[in-house]
Chain A
């Protein structure tokens, strides 16, 4: 097979800090290895930010782990060299690597929740680095710890240093993580998707912080992301990885103006853009398919020996909305805004605290358990994590048949199997896939199976809970196309929960913005996204990283 040639720019004039040459990482048996990284050559100059972009599984994180020799047990480096400021990292003994990690290379991970030690005070975790690498103790260490926290913008750092990770919010944890990474005054900072787990507003703050600290310290940065918007915000140069191979490196402006490699161009083409509108107008309807009125969902807080309910968290606090047949209503909001809980509340998958959910005029909230089980065939759900959404112990065919069995659809096993084949064809898979297990499929294929399972009971409404957030941009575009196609053919209504405003613009007819359990603004997509009224909506839109704006300011 002919591969398009690798496109590289001329190396920058500045002296290289990190030089990766011919790196090769393999998995599996030595006789028949799976090559995860194939002949990767990269350089990062001092004070430069190189952004490594690529889809999941392209080897971005593995590259970072290989540089620090922290690969998972199953992977091994089988070739190449990594030079950091003239030292061969692969030639160092294990003890020598300890002096590199944390001191010369700082690390920021995607999940601060997992990367911070939950039983150590934040201050002690920073102090540990200061002691280990700079030999600081006592008052001096204390002073530097507080200073480090202040530098990453944590208010009241002296008091915060004595707190534990669980007392920090998500954004603060990531700031603390950055403080730890910077405490050893590294020459190179590796940031592995540091904002992926954060909301857009927090993401903007963290990106600004990283960029500012990098400038101030003259530090080099290897930044890993799958988001081209984020890449634009931080990059000096961009490197694109495809299936373990580097396909293009280029300076930021040149890359975004005209990506040269076909793969880079394909990725750009698949990006959902706010401006793109290809959604046809919804059919007019007299009676709404779904009418939610003043829906409330509360989680009780229990205290004391008798576990009495002392208070409750109002996750969904009086939401009203309507949805017509064949229409898509997008619900956007940051994590913790209650949008997922609202979706589950409408399906009565969580107990309701109040309000009504009228489906074709019938109040689901008032139905008995048995009656509700029958109505479930009209309302289905597709989840974000397609891996968790399917029982790993069941065959795909049985997974799709489950709903038919529960709803007594399909007269015989043969009839059900025919229907499974039909459904698989409908979502773009083959009939033979019914005899495989979920783990044998890629993320996009798994999401297609989940959609087929929902379709099996012939629903009128599907609650899509971030169905494309875990997918790569190119796959995301395919799934969105599939959903739109199904809507046109079957007249489905979607309640589409997402945090990605680009997806909203592509698929939805109307959009509702949710904030702290209530809907703050609702209306047609054009109005809400391009002429927002509510201050929160404006803030949310402003925080979305956009390509080509003045991030350097």
Chain B
């Protein structure tokens, strides 16, 4: 392990995490922030989704702690904590394609056997199932045994976690552990523990199975140059999450400052902002992104000396993609914020502040900004999944992240040709899809809960609810 290095996107991610922690501390002290979050944590779906999101986040953070590798170690120029943890996956590469959990290669190769005769056979893999003496007989049983052991350890982990939670609840409520467990199981503990523990246990079982199989097999197979697909998919998590988060970070200042100012001041400022965002949103986004990617390429070839590390190059491209996505995507939020500010400026507390002689900048900061934050929160979480998908789409048409960088978009891009060959190689696509699906689904479910809790308009009227039990039966 070498010296700790900080790539630009790492710094951005850690800064974002710091902001999130500061927000949490802030939210704990302010009732108007705490109340909607309490509402979010009351929903079982939101809690389940946040467990999955948390797992993805953990992978992304582990993949963002980078170390410069020692010269001559045979590794790339920088390694992350995740790379080090997944060393067997990273180094155990084959020569070319192999199917998930296979012990033999996917295609026939010409091999010269001991007697010097040239035969075309499916050769054994270098790492996948290398410990088996006779894969034909032992393979199935070995996989089943290892998977069962992994699942069992995952289940055990889940049970241990559940026990800890039960004990914590018992301590807090001053109950006997058995009573607390019953409370948890009945779902009456005030927090959806069942969904938290259920999803955690399921996740731990999946992780357990993968962890048990990964050192001996390629769980998701290998790609064209023999790299492990599970490793690639895991590495892509950071790319997806970074794009989802950094883009928002870059677009927020534009949207907030311009949107609120336009709505509050109206007149020429409003005209200018409106002109800006209508113009910007009428340029096709893909075109703008393609142009920016091209310009960056030219810049990097001219200044090749500054980008000696491969990782730094890829990193800069990722950041540039976030920036350009951010610059093209602030318009919709800006429009929403302008409309809200137009409404707020007429509300009496803003007029009262004007009547007290409070300066405009102070009014914007103290009265308008806190009162539009719920919109920002809702749009941010709703946009996140869209941006993860946008990365995949853009990389697919080759204007996204650097081809050398692991990303779901790159995996899908590669799968275009793999699916066309016979027999088709489907696992790259399947791996990218299932990871992306899990992340986006969790993000969407979470976003729904956040929107329901934060949007005051959704707490409205309904009809025909909750008649007295006696009359319902009659």
Chain A residues within 8 Å of B, Cβ to Cβ = 69-73, 75-81, 88, 90-91, 94, 97, 344, 347, 349, 372-374, 376-377, 379-381, 383, 385, 388-394, 402-403, 405-407, 437, 450, 453, 457
Chain B residues within 8 Å of A, Cβ to Cβ = 30-32, 347-349, 351-359, 362, 366-367, 370-371, 460-468, 471, 474
Q: A388-B348, A391-B370, A406-B362 are in contact. Are A70 and B357 (CB under 8 A)?
A: no
How distant is A309 from chain B, measured CB to nearest CB, in Å? 13
Neighbouring B residues of A393 by C-beta, 8 Å: 30, 32, 370-371
How distant is B393 from chain A, measured CB to nearest CB, in Å? 37
- Apart from A77-B467, A91-B474, A385-B348: 19 A-B pairs, beta carbons within 8 A: A69-B463, A69-B464, A70-B464, A73-B461, A75-B466, A77-B468, A81-B471, A94-B463, A373-B357, A376-B356, A377-B356, A388-B347, A389-B348, A393-B370, A402-B358, A403-B356, A403-B357, A453-B352, A457-B357
Closest 5 CB pairs of A and B: A76-B466, A376-B357, A403-B356, A389-B348, A373-B357
Measured CB to CB, the nearest residue on chain B to A380 is: B355
Query: Are B32 and A381 touching (Cβ within 8 A)?
Result: no
Q: How far is the CA of A160 from the CA of B465 in the complex (A)?
A: 37
Neighbouring B residues of A71 by C-beta, 8 Å: 465-466
Query: Are A437 and B462 touching (Cβ within 8 A)?
Result: no
**A406 is contacted by which of B357, B367, B464 (Cβ under 8 Å)?**
B357
Q: How far is the CA of A389 from the CA of B355 in the complex (A)?
A: 12
Q: Name the residue in A79, A391, A407 with the highest tally of chain B Cβ atoms < 10 Å from its Cβ.
A: A391
**A376 is contacted by which of B30, B349, B355, B468 (Cβ under 8 Å)?**
B355
Q: A88-B471, A391-B366, A393-B371 are in contact. Are A383 and B348 (CB under 8 A)?
A: yes
A-B contact pairs, 22 of them (CB 8 A): A70-B461, A70-B464, A73-B465, A81-B471, A90-B468, A90-B471, A91-B471, A344-B351, A374-B357, A381-B352, A383-B348, A388-B349, A389-B349, A389-B352, A392-B371, A393-B30, A403-B356, A437-B31, A450-B352, A453-B352, A453-B356, A457-B356
**A349 is contacted by which of B354, B362, B367, B371 (Cβ under 8 Å)?**
B354
How distant is B275 from chain A, measured CB to nearest CB, in Å? 13
Query: Are A72 and B356 touching (Cβ within 8 A)?
Result: no
Neighbouring B residues of A437 by C-beta, 8 Å: 31-32
Query: Are A72 and B352 touching (Cβ within 8 A)?
Result: no
Interface of A is mostly: mixed
Neighbouring A residues of B461 by C-beta, 8 Å: 70, 72-73
Q: How far is the CA of A487 from the CA of B193 in the complex (A)?
A: 58
Query: Are B466 and A402 touching (Cβ within 8 A)?
Result: no
How distant is A462 from chain B, measured CB to nearest CB, in Å? 10
Query: Are B357 and A73 touching (Cβ within 8 A)?
Result: no
Q: Name the residue in B353, B358, B466 with the highest tally of chain A Cβ atoms < 10 Å from its Cβ.
A: B466
Query: Are B351 and A406 touching (Cβ within 8 A)?
Result: no
Measured CB to CB, the nearest residue on chain B to A390 is: B349
Query: Are B359 and A406 touching (Cβ within 8 A)?
Result: yes
Measured CB to CB, the nearest residue on chain B to A372 is: B357
Neighbouring A residues of B467 by C-beta, 8 Å: 69, 76-77, 90
Q: How far is the CA of A381 from the CA of B460 in the complex (A)?
A: 32
How distant is B43 from chain A, measured CB to nearest CB, in Å? 16
Neighbouring A residues of B466 by C-beta, 8 Å: 71, 75-77
Measured CB to CB, the nearest residue on chain A to B358 is: A406
Measured CB to CB, the nearest residue on chain B to A438 is: B349
Measured CB to CB, the nearest residue on chain A to B469 is: A78
Neighbouring A residues of B31 by C-beta, 8 Å: 437
Query: Are A76 and B367 touching (Cβ within 8 A)?
Result: no
Measured CB to CB, the nearest residue on chain A to B352 is: A389
How distant is B34 from chain A, measured CB to nearest CB, in Å? 12
Neighbouring A residues of B371 by C-beta, 8 Å: 391-393
Q: How far is the CA of A79 from the CA of B472 in the complex (A)?
A: 12
Measured CB to CB, the nearest residue on chain B to A76 is: B466
Measured CB to CB, the nearest residue on chain A to B188 is: A31
Q: How far is the CA of A73 from the CA of B452 in the complex (A)?
A: 14
Neighbouring B residues of A389 by C-beta, 8 Å: 348-349, 352
Query: Are B353 and A381 touching (Cβ within 8 A)?
Result: no
Q: How far is the CA of A377 from the CA of B357 in the complex (A)?
A: 7
Measured CB to CB, the nearest residue on chain B to A388 is: B348
Q: How far is the CA of A405 from the CA of B357 in the complex (A)?
A: 10
Q: How far is the CA of A256 from the CA of B474 in the complex (A)?
A: 42
Query: Are A73 and B460 touching (Cβ within 8 A)?
Result: yes
Query: Are A391 and B367 touching (Cβ within 8 A)?
Result: yes
Neighbouring B residues of A391 by C-beta, 8 Å: 349, 366-367, 370-371
Q: How far is the CA of A374 from the CA of B357 in the complex (A)?
A: 7
Measured CB to CB, the nearest residue on chain B to A82 is: B471
Neighbouring A residues of B353 by C-beta, 8 Å: 402, 406
Neighbouring B residues of A75 by C-beta, 8 Å: 466
**B355 is contacted by which of A72, A77, A381 (Cβ under 8 Å)?**
A381
Q: How far is the CA of A256 from the CA of B359 in the complex (A)?
A: 53
Neighbouring B residues of A77 by C-beta, 8 Å: 466-468
Q: How far is the CA of A374 from the CA of B359 in the complex (A)?
A: 11
Neighbouring B residues of A69 by C-beta, 8 Å: 463-464, 467
Neighbouring B residues of A385 by C-beta, 8 Å: 348
Query: Are A349 and B355 touching (Cβ within 8 A)?
Result: yes
Q: How far is the CA of A71 from the CA of B467 in the complex (A)?
A: 10
